[in-house]
Every structure is written in C-alpha cells, then in structure tokens.
C-alpha cells in the first residue's frame, strides 16, 4: 500500500503533519518538494483584489490541480 502525507524537514528529521500509526517501523520514501515561488501580481497585470477574486472563482478546480500526478504539467512551456 502507498500513502502520501505531508511533513516538514527540520534538524535532520521529517515531522509528519498527520500521524501514520499503521506505518510504525516501515520503510519510507521521502520526496522533497520545492516550495512554490512567489508570484509578482503586477507582472501579471492584476492587483491583489483581482487575484483574490480569481482564486475564489477557481477554487472548485483546486482539488484536481493539487493532485501529485498533475505536477507533470508544471514543466510544460508557456504559450
């Protein structure tokens, strides 16, 4: 079985956000995820209010976009 959980790396240890009691003593694989880069809204031609409105209107898609397998699209060239 494969299960993914978030964690934070500190002082050489991974602190899990949620406990994995069933995994005690198991082998794990840790994948480091780069933190997202800050977006300059001005470069995109929008202000903070417009960005908040857009974020609200697109929230319904967030669950699909945030799935790990969707990361493959992050490296596609811009049009």
Segments making up each domain of the chain, as ranges:
7-75
Does pLDDT of 50 surpass 80? yes
Compare 2 and 57 and report the one with higher pLDDT.
Answer: 57
Backbone angles phi, psi at 33, to 5 degrees: -115, 125
Q: Determine what percent of the chain is predicted with pLDDT higher than 70.
A: 99
**Is the pTM of the predicted complex or chain greater than 0.75?**
no
Does pLDDT of 63 surpass 80? yes
Region 67-72: mean pLDDT is 84
């Amino acid at each position: 079985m494969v299960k993914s959980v978030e964690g934070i790396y500190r002082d050489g240890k991974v602190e899990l956000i949620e406990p994995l009691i069933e995994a005690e003593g198991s082998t794990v694989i840790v994948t480091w995820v780069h933190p997202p880069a800050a977006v300059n809204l001005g470069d995109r031609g929008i202000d903070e209010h417009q960005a908040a409105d857009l974020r609200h209107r697109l929230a319904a898609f967030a669950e699909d976009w945030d799935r790990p397998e969707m990361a493959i699209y992050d490296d596609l060239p811009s049009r």
